[in-house]
């Protein structure tokens, strides 16, 4: 279903409004651009579209047009892309957490190994230590 909506947006050369978080103007983005934008920019675009949708619904109930359908499609696609980006961010965060845990575990094992090696060295006799020192 989402693929059909995305294809329809591509064929229509659909554009989404861009606004900066401070409310100043921005421009427009095509479908491909949406995947590159940060979630904050997508959220601003979503707010703009929702305002437009509310304004159009207030104008006339009897004069519903295809503009409403296009606007609804823009909102649905934007919601889809934001969900995908959030899921990707969650996966990346989980991967980073796992990598951090692995590094921490590796450090702990290295420290334990070093402690065992020091303990092994400390358990040797004076003669053994002198012989090892001479071999170095």
- What are the residue ranges spanned by the domains of the chain? 2-101
Q: Poorest-confidence range of 34-38, 63-67, 88-92, 131-135?
A: 63-67
Size of the chain, expressed as the number of residues it contains: 136
For residues 48 and 24, give the distance between their C-alpha atoms in angstroms, rounded to a whole number: 12
* pLDDT at site 58: 62
Planar angle of CA 35, 37, 42, nearest 5 degrees: 95
pLDDT, average across residues 77-84: 95
Residues 46, 79 contacting (CB under 8 angstroms): yes
pLDDT, average across residues 49-69: 74
Question: Which of 47, 51, 53 is CA-nearest to residue 73?
Answer: 53
* pLDDT at site 47: 93
Residue 111 has pLDDT above 80, yes or no: yes
* pLDDT at site 135: 87
For residues 85 and 61, give the distance between their C-alpha atoms in angstroms, rounded to a whole number: 35
* pLDDT at site 21: 56
* pLDDT at site 98: 96
Residue 61 has pLDDT above 70, yes or no: no
Banded model confidence at residue 67, pLDDT cuts 50, 70, 90: low
pTM: 0.68
Banded model confidence at residue 20, pLDDT cuts 50, 70, 90: low
């Amino acid at each position: 279903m989402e693929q059909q909506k995305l294809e329809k947006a591509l064929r229509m050369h659909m554009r989404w409004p861009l606004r900066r978080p401070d409310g100043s103007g921005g421009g427009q983005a095509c479908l491909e651009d949406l995947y590159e934008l940060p979630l904050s920019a997508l959220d601003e675009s979503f707010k703009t579209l929702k305002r437009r949708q509310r304004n159009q619904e207030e104008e006339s109930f009897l004069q519903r047009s295809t503009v409403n359908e296009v606007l609804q499609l823009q909102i649905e696609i934007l919601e889809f892309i934001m969900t995908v980006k959030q899921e990707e961010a969650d996966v990346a965060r989980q991967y980073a957490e796992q990598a951090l845990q692995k590094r921490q575990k590796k450090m702990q094992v290295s420290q334990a190994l070093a402690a065992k090696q020091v303990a092994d060295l400390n358990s040797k006799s004076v003669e053994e230590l002198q012989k090892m020192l001479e071999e170095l």
